Amino acid sequence: MTKAKNTEERILEAAIKIFSEKGFSAATTSEIAKEAKVAEGTIFRYFPKKKELLHGIVLKAIDLFGQNVVVNSLEKTIEANKRKDTAELLKAIIMDRVSLFEEYFPYIKVIFYEIQFHDDVRELFFDKIAKELIKIGKQIFNEGKKRGEFRDINPFIAARSFVGMAFMMIMQRQFFSSETVYVNIEDEIEVLIDIFLNGIRKC
């Protein structure tokens, strides 16, 4: 039982590694088996089809997301909102999640890229992650709006814009870090938040 759980975990971790390196289609089950140090047949005991490995990854990501992002950030939102202004709150939330984001980047990468080819992945992602993210975003945004800090901007577009800014930063850092000038990631995030909040703030 303990051994079994361990094996399944090892297979999933290997799958995440290989999928994020090569993409779902280019990854082979034999390579995943080698990485997980199990026989190829063992994979199919736990995941009867290759695609179920992908589902396993998405489900694990949803789980991790639920643990680390939703609960935690909502708590902080409510707690910190009593003392600080929205800018500082947002900054605190994002900064707190930078390392988490980098740690789970392989998951993000796999989900983000395979979303376009697999409808089931897309639906899972949207229902379990995107909706929650949108909810949190709107919540924070509406809080600031109520206090008169923000202008009257569609909160969905605002939240999506910020995610896009952050996403592009991560992408550039991942793929073109050597070609572009290096800036400390915390400094960069401060700039992002600065641009974004100024963008939606009354002034």
Partner DNA sequence: CTCTTTAGTGAGTGATTACTCACTCACATT
Partner DNA sequence: AATGTGAGTGAGTAATCACTCACTAAAGAG
Contacts with DNA, residue ranges (CB under 7 A): 3-4, 6-7, 27-30, 38-42, 44-45, 48-51
Binding partner of 165, given a copy of itself, DNA, none, CB within 5-8 angstroms per partner class: a copy of itself
What are the E-state strand segments in the chain?
Answer: none
Strand, coil or helix: 201: strand
End-to-end CA distance of the chain: 61
Q: Is 45 in the site for a copy of itself (CB under 8 A)?
A: no
We find the least distance from the C-beta atom of residue 165 to DNA, in angstroms, to be 36
Binding partner of 67, given a copy of itself, DNA, none, CB within 5-8 angstroms per partner class: none
Strand, coil or helix: 150: strand
Residue whose tokens read 């199990």:
38
Helix axes 155-175, 131-146, angle to 10 degrees: 120
Interface residue with a copy of itself among 3, 49, 83, 176 (CB under 8 A) is 176
Interface residue with a copy of itself among 29, 68, 139, 161 (CB under 8 A) is 161
Separation of alpha carbons 119 and 86, rounded Å? 36
Name every residue whose Cβ is closer than 8 Å to that of residue 58 and which is 6 or more positions away in sequence: 111, 121, 124, 125
Separation of alpha carbons 198 and 104, rounded Å? 29
Q: What is the DSSP secondary structure assignment for residue 39, as one 8-state letter?
A: -
Interface residue with a copy of itself among 4, 37, 135, 164 (CB under 8 A) is 164
Binding partner of 198, given a copy of itself, DNA, none, CB within 5-8 angstroms per partner class: a copy of itself
Residue 201, beta-bridge partner list: 150
Single out the residue of 91, 59, 89 nearest to residue 74, CA to CA: 89
- Two structure tokens written together for 144: 């600031």
Interface residue with a copy of itself among 26, 39, 71, 78 (CB under 8 A) is 26
We find the least distance from the C-beta atom of residue 114 to a copy of itself, in angstroms, to be 9
Residues in the chain: 203
Which of 2/178 has CB closer to a copy of itself?
Answer: 178
We find the least distance from the C-beta atom of residue 39 to a copy of itself, in angstroms, to be 24
Applying CB under 8 A, the span of 1-9, 42-50, 84-92, 183-191 interacting with a copy of itself comes to: 183-191
Q: List interacting residues with a copy of itself (CB under 8 A).
A: 21-26, 109, 113, 115-117, 122, 126, 130, 151, 153-154, 156-158, 160-161, 163-169, 172, 174-176, 179-181, 183, 188, 191-192, 194-201, 203
